[in-house]
A and B are shown apart, each in its own frame.
Chain A
């Protein structure tokens, strides 16, 4: 009798996990964002080599510790939330492909909604599992540095290009992270 009662429970769990994984899996979406960002501008970065800087991307957040699925999804959600205003609130260079820029922004918005549905109302960080460090804070400071850089560089073309390349690298990291969580 117990096996009969357990069967629908297991089925439900499987279904829910499958649905969850489907809903929370943004690997493909992140790769599309990456390609949009890459193709948006054909500008060669050569002259902007002097404007290079170290943004101090928190790599240990992505690669250091094995992340649980919920925390990985929260990280991705946090990062997308920070990236979106950078492109939406400021005025990117006009030389960029505006169509692709709009596509990127709408994709980001869609992905944010998707993650909100996936995570539910509770997007609280699970403090004990990650120890003393709070990756959320590290990410927040990272993106704040990017905004400050843009301001510092007075939203020059090179600064935008440098920032674009850096965000492109972030998307690559995120897609690798979601692929890791999926597998």
Chain B
């Protein structure tokens, strides 16, 4: 029998690899059956704690030595330095593990120097470890719930090392203890990811939790439930808060813009612009406008006595009673008609005929010197060279009381000057020359010329009455320029020649 076994062994030497024979040999002859023990690797966030339990019924080991080796290399057991000849039944093996490697852990129990227990187990850190769940925070915004997922602080060191473990997160939304929604969110190496959950039912309770999307992991822990009561009142509240700044924006801003625009255009807050000093006029203008740079020349109105009955249309009343009068007053010679109409106002009017061919080329415009010394006189005297009949009424504001022409009670006394029958002579300078360029002659109708005084030069002027050098007067057509203010008649007067025969009206 023994010879057969030896023969068998010799034969095996040739036919089988050496190592396997030797190992088989050693196993069968020298292997001591070891008591078993139970190894438990507890790994939390890659913090590995190996603990063991000996379930042998025989002698209990007093000391333990923990060693390890890697699966993908044929290496000898490496003893863990902190866990050599220890008496406790646990060992912290955090630092020695590579996450992607598979390890064998060996716990050998000794009783003095005798090996009593030997237990070997495999350990794959990446699958066997239990990771903390991601942290979830929720907030309600209008009608949605914003779920923010971020790494817990305990995984801050590991997340950069093992990015594929923390790549995706599964978020579960429960409503009334039922799964309402489940969605997978990619972290994409970000610190946190926010996901919006909409289409929520108002007035219902929602609970949110998340866990790492690890299909190979044995234990996947859910994060603690975060519940919120979703109600519709939150929606209005948030809208209220949003409405207030919107209202201020839409109301105040246009008002400000409007005010700025008005200010820019000068509609409000207008700056006081001061007019030039030359335009500052004294409050009272004594007499005609005395502008320093304007040459004021006096013009005499030469009246030609053409008795023509001129009446105002309004005066053509049957009961009007007109009489021609001539009055010399304060160097004024007035010839005219007085028509007493039903109205108590007495008016003295001249009708005048002006032709349109007045010469506008007058370099100088001598003005009628209106001696209005009195302040309360308001006697504008305007003549107008127009085609139409025009009437000029001049109210004498400063006539004497006993003047038949004045009606102080009425306060209106009008004169109509027929400029076609008058000559206007300018006395501009002291050298009153009839050949003065400032002389003004108004157009005269030929058939009406009837000079009282046969002054040849003046006749000449009359015949060449077309030389109107200046439209001195602007006579408004069909208008009465009457002022009802009464004033003394001194204001009307000025130096003028009194010449009844000449029929000059001077002032």
Contact = CB atoms under 8 A, between A and B. Distances in A.
Interface of A: 27, 31-32, 34-35, 38-39, 44-50, 52-55, 57, 162, 165-166, 169, 172-173, 175-176, 179, 183
A57 B72 contact: yes
Interface in B58-100: 69-74, 100
A54 B72 contact: yes
B104 interface: yes
B166 to A, nearest CB: 12
A73 to B, nearest CB: 18
A46 B120 contact: yes
A32 B215 contact: yes
Given A175-B164, A176-B164, A39 B71 contact: no
Given A54-B72, A169-B100, A49 B126 contact: no
B104 A45 contact: yes
B121 interface: yes
Contacts of A35: 215-216
9 contacts: A31-B216, A35-B215, A45-B104, A45-B122, A53-B72, A54-B73, A162-B71, A169-B100, A172-B100
Contacts of A44: 121-122
A183 to B, nearest CB: 8
A47 B27 CA distance: 13
A57 B104 CA distance: 19
Contacts of A162: 71
A47 B215 contact: no
B341 interface: no
Given A32-B215, A39-B216, A57-B72, A165 B102 contact: yes
Given A55-B72, A165-B102, A49 B216 contact: no
B240 interface: no
Contacts of B119: 46
A100 to B, nearest CB: 11
B163 interface: yes
B234 interface: no
Interface string B116-145: 000111101011000000000000000000
Interface residues of B, number: 26
A179 B216 contact: no
Nearest to B188: A183
Contact of A179 (B100, B106, B126, B164): B164
B434 to A, nearest CB: 89
A34 B216 contact: yes
B74 A54 contact: yes
Interface of B: 23, 39, 69-74, 100-102, 104, 106, 119-122, 124, 126-127, 163-164, 167, 189, 215-216
Contacts of A173: 100
Contact of B122 (A32, A46, A183): A46
B122 A49 contact: yes
B390 to A, nearest CB: 78
Nearest to B119: A46
B201 to A, nearest CB: 33
B319 to A, nearest CB: 98
Contacts of B215: 31-32, 35
Given A32-B215, A38-B216, A39-B216, A52 B100 contact: no
B164 A31 contact: yes
B34 to A, nearest CB: 12
A122 B164 CA distance: 30
B224 to A, nearest CB: 26
B100 to A, nearest CB: 6
Nearest to A52: B71
B73 A45 contact: no
A99 to B, nearest CB: 15
Contacts of B164: 27, 31, 175-176, 179
B72 A46 contact: no
Nearest to B214: A35
A17 B269 CA distance: 65
Given A34-B216, A45-B121, A165-B122, 20 more contacts: A45-B102, A46-B119, A49-B69, A49-B71, A49-B122, A52-B73, A53-B72, A53-B74, A54-B73, A54-B74, A55-B72, A165-B71, A166-B72, A169-B100, A169-B101, A169-B102, A175-B164, A176-B164, A179-B163, A179-B164
Contacts of A176: 164
B104 A52 contact: yes
B72 A49 contact: no
